[in-house]
Amino acid sequence: MGRPTKYRREYPKLAAVLLAQGYSEAKVAEVLRVGPSTLSDWKRSYPEFAKALDVDNR
């Protein structure tokens, strides 16, 4: 059994706000206290998170 996820429902909205303020995805990961690979995993596992980070959909 793996570790419990640090993902929270509020992260898509927070990530979208940070990106709109000019933060990079690496900086968003830092703010959320996860590594860039975790951010990538979340984009694959949580469609709402992937959509929030998709520049074309904002």
d(CA 17, CA 6): 19
Q: Has residue 6 been placed in a domain?
A: no
| Torsional sign, CA 57, 45, 34, 36 | negative
User: 3-12, pLDDT tens digit by residue?
Assistant: 888 999 999 9
Structural domain including 52 reads 11-57
pLDDT of residue 57 exceeding 60, the answer is no
Residue located via tokens 């694959």: 44
Q: Has residue 1 been placed in a domain?
A: no
Residue located via tokens 């990106």: 19
End-to-end Cα spacing for the chain: 36
Domain total in the chain: 1
Over residues 17-25, mean pLDDT = 95
Q: What is the pTM of this model?
A: 0.84
Q: Which two tokens stand for residue 53?
A: 């980070």
57 and 48 in contact (C-beta within 8 Å)?
A: no
